[in-house]
Amino acid sequence: MAVETRRVIIDAQVGDGQITGSARHESGEPRQFSGWLELLAALDGLLDGPTLSEIRITRDGES
């Protein structure tokens, strides 16, 4: 099984045990979340989506 590294960007606000924000691929639309379970669901959806190489082919360190 081939292993692929994926980059996910998370913008989060955390306070009093609560978390809200968004998660996205480098060039993708953000997925909003509110709560820890929604964060996990957003990550699951992003990691199940198209691979980074399917979105945009890059080499390490290049945009």
Query: For residue 61, what is the enclosing H or E element?
Result: none
Q: Give the model confidence (pLDDT) of 9-54 as tens digits.
A: 999 999 998 999 999 988 788 999 999 999 999 999 888 865 555 5
Q: Are 35 and 52 in contact (CB under 8 A)?
A: no
Supply the pLDDT for residue 32: 96
Q: What is the dihedral of CA 24, 41, 55, 62, to 10 degrees?
A: 50
The pTM of this model reads: 0.68
For the record, the structure tokens of 36 come out as 């820890």
Beta carbons within 8 Å of 54's beta carbon, 6+ residues apart: none
> Angle at CA 14, nearest 5°, toward 51 and 9?
20
Domain boundaries of the chain, sorted by first residue:
8-50
